[in-house]
Amino acid sequence: MTNHWIDLRNSDCLLIQGSNCAENHPIAFKWVMKAKERGAKLIHVDPRFTRTSAKADFYAPIRSGTDVAFLGGMIKYIIENEKYFKDYVVNYTNAPFLVNDKFAFDDGLFSGYDAAGRKYDKATWTIKKDDKGIPLKDPTLQDPRCVLQLLKKHYSRYDLDTVSKITGTPVKDLQTVYEMFSSTGVPDKAGTMLYALGQTQHTGGSQNIRTMCIIQLLLGNIGICGGGINALRGEPNVQGSTDHAILSNILPGYLKAPVSSQPTLDDYIKKNTPKTSDPQSANWWQNYPKYTVSLLKAWYGDKATKENDFGYSWVPKLDDGQDCTLLNMIDNMYEKKIKGLIVFAQNPACSLPNAVKVREGLTNLDWMVHVNIFDNETASFWKGPGIDPKKVKTEVFLLPAAASVEKQGSQTNSGRMVMWKYEAAKGPGDAVYYAGDAVIQIVAKLQELYKKEKGAFPDPILNLKWDYIDDKGRFNVVEVAKVTNGYFLEDVTIADKTYKKGDCVPSFALLQADGKTSSGNWLMCGSFAQDGTNLMARRKKDDPTGLGLYPQWAWSWPVNRRIIYNRASVDLNGKPYNPNRPLLAWVDGKWVGDVPDGPWPPMSDLKNGKYPFIMKPDGVSALFGPGLSDGPFPEHYEPLEGPMDKNLLSSQLKNPVMKIFSGPCDLYSGCDPKYPFVMTTYSSTEHWCTGGNTRWQSWLTEAQPQVYVEISEELAQLRSIKNGDKVKVESARGSLPCVAMVTTRLRPLNCGGQTIHLVGMTYNYGWLFPNDCGDSANLLTPTAGDANTMTPEYKAFMVNVVKI
Amino acid sequence: MSNGKSILVDTSLCTACRGCQVACKQWNNLPGTKTKQIGTYQNPQDFSSDTWKVVRFADGKKEDGKPYWYFFTDMCRHCVEPPCMYSIQNFVKDAVVRDEATGAVVYNEKTKTVPFKEVLCPYNIPRQNPKTKVLAKCTMCFDRIKNDMIPGCVKSCPTGAMVFGDREKILEMANKRVADLKKTYPKAMAINPDEVRVIFIVTDDPKKYWKFAAGG
C-alpha cells in the first residue's frame, strides 16, 4: 500500500476492483465502513456480486480479465473531460515530458517488438533530453509528443461502446463508475483504489495495476490522505516476504538479484544504480551501492572486505534472462531437473495452478522435507487420488511446526507497518519453532561438510556470518531483526554526529558503501533506535495529526513514513492541497505532519528543493513507464484462455510477451465450444488459502463444508442444473466434481451481442481432510503467468460445467 | 429494576464474516456440526441445540435487475416480555430465568420436561437437544456480562455492526442510525425495538432478510 489500512477512512471515494475486501480482509474492511459512515462512496467492480458488493454504493459487473479495457476507458474519460488535477499532473508526473520520436504504437504492438523472441527492444521507449541530460518538457501539455498527448491518443480507442463490448459492463455502469471516481480529481477530494489478487493474477496483471496508477496520478490521488494505490496483502505475509526477498529476482529491500554478466561488484552497481543530471531530482536509488555493500557486510561480516568486493562473488548469480519463479520451478520439477524440495508452510499441490502437473512433478523428486502445523495434500501427495504409493520414489519427511502465535518476531502488514509480536503460547513438543531454526541447522551441517570434504566452491557457505544462535542453541530472532536493521561496524562520524561501533543504524540515510555499516535490508533500517530499542514493539496511541497516522504505534518502512510520496500532497510552496486533511506542510522552514519523503524544502526553492517522487530518477511519477516488459502504456489483451476469438482493440489477441509453456500437461483451450464458460477462482472468508489450516477447524468447515461452483440462474437453466445439484467442472487440464450454487449474484454478460457466462470457485479445498470436502480448484487452472512477474493466471480461464 | 441491557445489530454494517457465529460456539463450547454444501453460503442451515447463532444469507434481484445480498445474524431477541418464558413457566416454574440486571432470558436443564411444541417464540429461536430434551438458545453471554465482558458475538464483530450496552443508550443509537439510513434507504427501520432487547436494523423489508426477522 502507498497508504495504510486506517487511512482508508479518510477517503471520499473507494474503488475496489480485483479485490473482495469484505470477505478476504474482513477485519480491515471496518476502515472502508468508517469511510462510508463519513459519507464516502464505495464502488465495487467485480465479475461476481460478493459480500463486498453487498456493502457498495455502486456495483458494476466485469468480464474477468478485462480490467485494462475498463480502466483504460476511465483514462480516456478523465483526459477528454479534463477531470485531471492539472497542477499535480504538470509538476509531479512525466505528463509534460517529450517522448522519443521513434516510439510508436500500432495495432496492439509498441515499437521494438521481436516476434520470434516474444520480447521488446525498449530502445525507443525513452524520454527526450537536452544536451545537459535534462528531460525536454512542454508544461502546456500541448506538444503532440508529450506524454499526456500520447496517453490521450493511446486511450482514445477505448470508447464506451468498445469497452462495454469487451468487458460486458453496461455502458451506463461504465459512465457511473467513471463519473463517481473521477470526481476526486480536485484538491480537496481523495479517491483510493483497492486491489488484490483479482488484479494481479492475470497474464496482464502488472499492467492492470499500472492502469490504476495512471488514473490515480491523473487525479492527483497519490501521496495524499485517503488516496493511494493500495494492494491488499494479507495473512500469507505477501508484504513481509517480498520486502525480505522471498522471490527469485530480488535481494532484500528490492535490490536486484545479480546475474552472470555482472561478475564484479562494480558491474552490478553500475548496472543497477540510476543516474540523473537534474539537480532537483533526489534520485534516491543513487544510494544503491550503500545498500548493497551494507547487505554484503550483514551476510559475510569481517570476511567481506573492500579487496574482495565485500564477498560479491559469493552471491549466487542468475543466468541472464533466467526466471526462477514458481511456474518455472514446477516446470523444472516436472522435467525431472529438480531432485529435492523443502516446503515451509505451503501447500503447492493445491495452491499452484495446474495441480495435475504439480502433483505429478512432486513424484519426480528424490526427497521432500515438509514443515507445517498440519499434514496437507503436498506432504501426502504420494497417497493422493490417482497416485499409487508403491510407484512413488520420493522420500517425504514431515516435520511439525509451531504456529505463528507460538513464536515472537516481526510481522509486516499491508500498509508497510512492521509490528513486533510475542509468543502467546508454547509450541507443541519438539515442533520446529522458526523456519530460521531449520535453516540454522541446515547451514551448520553444510558448513561442517564443506570443512570436512572441501568441495568445488565452499566460500559462499563457509564465509557466511552465522552467529544467530542464542545461548540455548536456538535461532535468535531478536538478533536477526537487529542484523536486518544494521549496525555501525566502526566508529563513524556523519554530519558532526558520532556513532559508536556496535550501535544500531537508526536510518538508512546513514548507511555507507565503504564497509563501515551493515544492514540485512536497508528498508528495515530504523526499525531499531541507535541504542537498540525495538521500535516495532512500540504501542503508543497518540495521533497528533488526527489523520490516523499513529506514528508511535509499531514502525513503518521507510523510516516510519506512513504515507509514501507524501510530498506530492502539497503544492510547489509546501502548502497542503487539501487544507482539511493536511498530511504534510512546510511551516517556518520545516516539514510538519507525516515523516516527509526526504528533508529538502518544497520545489519552489529552486536551489535546494526536490521533486516528490524521489525513487524515480526523473523525480516525477511515470505515466509513461518503460519499466515493464509489455509496454510503457497498458494495453488490453485477452487472457491466455478466453471466450473471444478476436481483440476488439487490435489484432493482437494475447499478451505478446508472456511465456507459453508447452509440456504435455500444459494444455490450453482457445475459443473452444467444449469449454465455453469463463471461470475465476478465489477464497472465502471462512477458509484460509487452500484450507490447509482451516479445514481442520470444525467451526469453519461447518460454515463452508464442501467445494462448490457458483453459477447464474441463466446458466443453470441452460445446463438443466438445480441449486445444490452435483456437477462436474472441466477444463482442458482437469475435472472436478462439486456442488452447484445457483445464484442471482452471478449474471451472464452481454459482450457485444455475445452472451458470456461466468462461473466461480474457491480454491479452499483438498482431498485430504475432511474426506468429503472435494478437491482443489487448481486442478482446472492453467500454467500461465503475468508477462512481468509470472504471477499465475488463476482469475480467468475457460471451463465447462455439466450435471452428474 | 433498571432497563437492563440491549444489543444493536445494524445489518447495514454487517459483512456476514460469521465471526459472531464462530465466537458463539467458541465461548459456549458448542461443537461444529456436520454440514453439507446445498447451494448456499448459509451453514448450518438453522439453529440447533449446538448452534445458537446463524448468519442467514438471502440473495435476489432488485427492481433495477441488479443483485442484492442481505445478511441477518439471527439470534434470540431476549424479548422484554418473553413469550417463551411464559409458555415454559406454564409447565415448569423455574426452568427459565429472566435476569433482573440485564433482562437476559436464560434456560436451564429443567426445560427438559417441557413439551417443546408448547414453547412459543415469534422468532422461531429455541431448539431441543434430541438426546437430553433440554431446550437451548442464546444466553446473551450472561456469564460474560456478569464478569464485565461484552457478549462473544459482539466482541468478535469487526465492523461494529453489533453493539452491546445499556438499553436506553442502545435505543437512542438505533433511532439515530435509522434516521441516518433513511436518507439513503427510505425503508430503513429498527425491528420491534420496544419489544425486544436484540434490536435489528434493516434497510429493506425484513421478510427479504429472513421470514422470521420481524416475528412470524
pLDDT tens digits for range A496-521: 999 999 999 999 999 999 999 999 99
- A51: which chain B residues are within 8 Å (Cβ-Cβ)? 15-17, 69, 71
- The mean pLDDT value for A209-227 works out to 98
Residue A633: how many CA atoms within 13 Å on its side-chain side? 29
The answer to whether ipTM exceeds 0.85 is: yes
**CB pairs < 8 Å spanning A and B:** 106
Q: Which residues is A410 bridged to in the sheet?
A: A420
Check A702 against B35: CB less than 8 A apart: yes
Choose the mutation target among B42, B69, B204 for the interface with A, i.e. most A CBs under 10 Å. Answer: B69
- A769: which chain B residues are within 8 Å (Cβ-Cβ)? none
Compute the nearest-CA separation of B71 from chain A (Å).
9
- A701: which chain B residues are within 8 Å (Cβ-Cβ)? 32, 35
- B38: which chain A residues are within 8 Å (Cβ-Cβ)? 723-724, 739
Check A685 against B68: CB less than 8 A apart: no
The answer for residues whose C-beta is within 8 angstroms of residue A755's C-beta and 6 or more apart is: A748, A749
Check B26 against A699: CB less than 8 A apart: yes
- Chain A residues near any Cβ of chain B (below 8 Å): 22-23, 26-27, 29-30, 33, 49-55, 59, 685-686, 697-708, 723-725, 739-745, 747
Q: Which three cell numbers stand for residue B147?
A: 464478569
Compute the nearest-CA separation of A657 from chain B (Å).
38
pLDDT tens-digit series, residues A423-439: 999 999 888 888 888 99
- The mean pLDDT value for B8-35 works out to 98
* Residue B174 neighbours by CB distance under 10 Å: 22
Compute the nearest-CA separation of B93 from chain A (Å).
35
Looking at the predicted structure, is the pLDDT value of residue B2 above 70? no
Q: What is the dihedral of CA B198, B201, B204, B210, to 10 degrees?
A: -20
The answer for residues whose C-beta is within 8 angstroms of residue A192's C-beta and 6 or more apart is: A3, A7, A8, A11, A13, A14, A15, A221, A226, A227, A228, A230
Under a CB-based contact definition with an 8 Å cutoff, are residues A542 and A403 in contact? no
Check B32 against A740: CB less than 8 A apart: no
Q: Which three cell numbers stand for residue A424?
A: 502467546
Compute the nearest-CA separation of A558 from chain B (Å).
29
Under a CB-based contact definition with an 8 Å cutoff, are residues A349 and A358 in contact? yes
Compute the nearest-CA separation of A22 from chain B (Å).
6
Residue where the block lists cell 566452491: A457
pLDDT band at A483 (very low <50, low <70, confident <90, very high): very high
- B32: which chain A residues are within 8 Å (Cβ-Cβ)? 697-702
Nearest residue in B to A721, CA atom: B39
Return the pLDDT at A237: 79
Compute the nearest-CA separation of A726 from chain B (Å).
9
- The mean pLDDT value for B173-188 works out to 97
Compute the nearest-CA separation of B42 from chain A (Å).
7
Return the pLDDT at A470: 86
- A698: which chain B residues are within 8 Å (Cβ-Cβ)? 31-32
Return the pLDDT at A474: 86
Return the pLDDT at A433: 84
Q: Which three cell numbers stand for residue A120?
A: 521488446
What percent of chain A lies above the pLDDT cut of 90? 96
Residue closest to A224 by CA, chosen among A600, A602, A610, A576: A576
Looking at the predicted structure, is the pLDDT value of residue B1 above 50? no
The end-to-end CA distance of chain A, in Å, is 45
> Is B17's Cβ below 8 Å from some Cβ in A?
yes
- The mean pLDDT value for A299-316 works out to 98
Compute the nearest-CA separation of B159 from chain A (Å).
4
Nearest residue in A to B55, CA atom: A703
Check A22 against B15: CB less than 8 A apart: yes
Average pLDDT, chain B: 97
Check A708 against B39: CB less than 8 A apart: yes
- B21: which chain A residues are within 8 Å (Cβ-Cβ)? 699, 703
Residue where the block lists cell 503508543: A540
* Residue A244 neighbours by CB distance under 10 Å: 20
From the number of C-beta atoms within 10 Å of its C-beta (0-12, 13-18, 19+), residue A119 rates as: middle
Nearest residue in B to A22, CA atom: B15
The end-to-end CA distance of chain B, in Å, is 30
The answer for residues whose C-beta is within 8 angstroms of residue A128's C-beta and 6 or more apart is: A97, A98, A99, A100, A101, A135, A136, A145
pLDDT tens-digit series, residues A584-597: 999 999 999 999 99
B residues 105-164 near A, CB within 8 Å? 158-160
pLDDT tens-digit series, residues A359-402: 999 999 999 999 999 999 999 999 999 999 999 999 999 999 99
From the number of C-beta atoms within 10 Å of its C-beta (0-12, 13-18, 19+), residue A630 rates as: buried
Looking at the predicted structure, is the pLDDT value of residue A206 above 90? yes
CA atoms of A467 and A440, how far apart (whole Å): 9
Check B17 against A33: CB less than 8 A apart: no
The answer for residues whose C-beta is within 8 angstroms of residue A518's C-beta and 6 or more apart is: A294, A295, A297, A298, A301, A483, A486, A487, A489
> Is B71's Cβ below 8 Å from some Cβ in A?
yes
How far, rounded to the nearest angstrom, does the alpha carbon of residue A7 sit from its chain's CA centroid? Answer: 19
Nearest residue in A to B42, CA atom: A703
Check A26 against B36: CB less than 8 A apart: no
Residue length of chain B:
216
Under a CB-based contact definition with an 8 Å cutoff, are residues B98 and B82 in contact? yes
CA atoms of A625 and A353, how far apart (whole Å): 30
How many DSSP H helices and E strands does chain B contain? Answer: 6, 10
The DSSP 8-state label assigned to residue A254 in this structure reads G
- The mean pLDDT value for A47-60 works out to 98
> Is B179's Cβ below 8 Å from some Cβ in A?
no
Average pLDDT, chain A: 96
Check A702 against B33: CB less than 8 A apart: yes
pLDDT tens-digit series, residues A673-724: 999 999 999 999 999 999 999 999 999 999 999 999 999 999 999 999 999 9
Nearest residue in B to A711, CA atom: B39
Check A703 against B22: CB less than 8 A apart: yes
pLDDT tens-digit series, residues A232-275: 997 777 899 899 998 999 999 999 999 999 999 999 999 999 99
Q: Which three cell numbers stand for residue A421?
A: 509480536
Nearest residue in B to A24, CA atom: B17
Residue closest to A517 by CA, chosen among A529, A532, A499: A499
Residue where the block lists cell 538508512: A508
The DSSP 8-state label assigned to residue A123 in this structure reads G
pLDDT band at B176 (very low <50, low <70, confident <90, very high): very high
- The mean pLDDT value for A784-791 works out to 96
What percent of chain A lies above the pLDDT cut of 70? 100
Return the pLDDT at A234: 79
Return the pLDDT at A792: 97
Check B61 against A26: CB less than 8 A apart: no
